[in-house]
Amino acid sequence: MGDALPFFGNIIDGVEVEAVDGARMQSVDPYTREPWAEVPLGGQADAQLAIAAARRAFDEGEWPRMGFEKRHAILHRWAALMIEHTDELAMADARDMGKPLAQARHDVARSAWNVRFFADHALVTPAETYPMDSGHHAYSRFDPAGVVTAITPWNFPLMMASWKVSPALAWGNTVVLKPAEDTPTSAVIWARLALEAGMPAGVLNVVHGLGPDSTGQALTESPDVDRITFTGESGTGKIISKAAAGNLIPVSLELGGKGANVVFADADLDNAVSWSIQAIFRNAGQVCLAGSRLYVQREIYNEFLDRFVAAAEAMKLGDPKVEGTEFSVLASKEHFDKVSGYLDTVELDGGKILTGGLGEGWQVRPTVIVNAPADARVCREEIFGPVVVVHPSDTEDEVVALANDTRYVLNAMLFTENLSRAHRVAAKLKAGTVWVNCFFIRDLRAPFGGVGDSGVGREGGSFSREFFTEPKAVVMQISKD
Ligand code: ADP
């Protein structure tokens, strides 16, 4: 039976291969609940082969040495091929995780933009020079760090991979990418396109497998790796951080979130409702940035809630592969069990489900909860699903305190038409990113990341350069006087 399914191999040293021991695993389409593709079930040996290929490509290959312009040309050819293969890439993510096709296509466009942006950024970013009064001249070089391990989650498979891999490659590193086991296929298509674009063998390697005692663990514990960039759960981030400490290498961690979304009475209500819906129900809420705690000022609470619930109920639910579907199923049975488990706690903890609940198959419909006390599990823990808790709020100081009362410090949203309030509250919110009157808009030059249970470090523009390079100071004597 398995032979009938399309196969997406490991890509090691430019060749698409089976796992060393021939083992395979299946990717299940969460909408049909049937396997649709097979990939290698890699292990430690596969990870070691991939690291060795990346090491050779870095230590002896042309990629770190070819210069920014040649790399830029290859990266741009790659981005163009991604756009040409939009449907294939988007369908891979749609089938692997139930992402509606329109959103998956949007992710492909943003992923191609990641590749182009970081290629351009590396090309035009100047090194720093420091003329010195002492008759010396100092300058910085930003040399590639070496071999990068990139471990990515299943919620934005291609987009997260491109967000990490693009700056690493643009700065001249080589990479081993491990996609999440639930969403393995788009990374393979992407790596095939890299070879077609002229990227040398061994520069981008892809290995499939699991985390503990598998490829994930091997890729984070290897002494031949120079950087680890990871996006995933906070608990996994702590394990990976320990592994990185074992080799004293820098690690960048983008972890969970419990984003506050603060709507003031002077907000543009249409705009606030529409972005607040996006903030929690886009990608079925499987977004670390989701606005899962919604605080609405009391004067407009009832009107906002009526409109918000109506918009949630109007979403077009269905097959992710059908045009027009806005909302589908959760990414896996395991994740469906986790999210639906939270729904069971709502009434026990004193809250009420206003709309939503279980849908067909592995679906949790857009769910709105009210009356939940601040210590309810749905208010404190990251659900990572289409579940929002709405609270009325009164003063600015009170809502800032409520918004900041979380272990996750990743992002927040605020809606107001009052310019001074927008800046004042944005400054007070504990967050790596604050969106004012919008959500999810990114400028790739800006820092992205969080602290607390949300991670360590920032990526984006020159923040990615800091992480993926070894800065070196060169000090020259230019005058002997
Ligand atoms: P989820 O399973 O919800 O996607 P995880 O944080 O567990 O969230 O997984 C994100 C990525 O981290 C996946 O690619 C997974 O295989 C990988 N992973 C999980 N555990 C480990 C580990 N101990 N070491 C390295 N990678 C891991």
pLDDT at 480: 79
**Residue 212 CB less than 6 A away from ligand 1:** yes
CA of 216 to the centre of ligand 1 (A): 7
Q: How many Cα atoms are found within 13 Å in the side-chain-facing hemisphere of 106? A: 11
Ligand 1 site, residue 46, Cβ cutoff 6 A = no
Compute CA distances 64 → 2, 70, 142, 453, whole Å.
Answer: 40, 11, 12, 34
288 is catalytic: yes
Q: In a 10 Å sphere around its CB, with 0-12 CB exposed, 13-18 middle and 19+ buried, how is residue 86 labelled?
A: middle
Q: Could you identify the atom of ligand 1 that is nearest to the CA of residue 231?
A: 10
Task: Count Cβ atoms within 10 A of the Cβ of residue 90 and give its class: 0-12 exposed, 13-18 middle, 19 or more buried.
Answer: buried
What ligand 1 atom has the least distance to the C-alpha of 384? 3
**Which pLDDT does position 458 carry in this prediction?**
95
CA of 465 to the centre of ligand 1 (A): 25
pLDDT (0 to 100) of residue 479: 83
Decide: 54 in ligand 1 pocket, CB within 6 A. Answer: no
Tell me how far the alpha carbon of residue 154 lies from the centroid of ligand 1, in angstroms: 9
Q: In order along the chain (481 residues), what is the average pLDDT of each group of 10 residues?
A: 82 98 98 98 98 98 97 98 98 98 98 98 93 94 97 98 98 98 98 98 98 97 98 96 98 97 98 98 97 98 98 98 96 98 98 97 98 96 98 98 96 98 98 97 96 95 96 92 69
- 153 alpha carbon – ligand 1 mean position (Å): 7
Mutate to test the pocket of ligand 1, among 207, 236, 255 (most ligand atoms within 8 A of CB): 236
Query: Ligand 1, atom 14: nearest CA belongs to which residue?
Result: 180
Establish whether residue 382 lines the binding site of ligand 1, counting it when its CB lies within 6 angstroms of any ligand atom: no
pLDDT of residue 1: 45
Ligand 1 close to Cβ of residue 217 (< 6 A): yes
Q: What's CA 87's distance to the chain center, in Å?
A: 21
pLDDT recorded at residue 4: 86
Distance CA 142, CA 166 (A): 16
Distance 217 CA to ligand 1 centre (A): 9
Q: Is 338 in the pocket of ligand 1 (CB under 6 A)?
A: no
Catalytic residue among 38, 181, 221, 254: 254
What is the pLDDT, as a whole number, of residue 3? 59
What is the pLDDT at residue 352? 98
Q: What is the pTM of this model?
A: 0.96
Amino acid at 132: M
Question: What is the rounded CA–CA span in Å between residue 168 and residue 227?
Answer: 9
Q: What is the pLDDT of residue 127?
A: 86
Report which ligand 1 atom has the smallest distance to the Cα of 237.
6
Q: Check if 38 is active-site.
A: no
Q: Ligand 1: which of 41, 151, 330 to mutate, most ligand atoms within 8 Å of CB? A: 151
Backbone angles phi, psi at 296, to 5 degrees: -120, 130
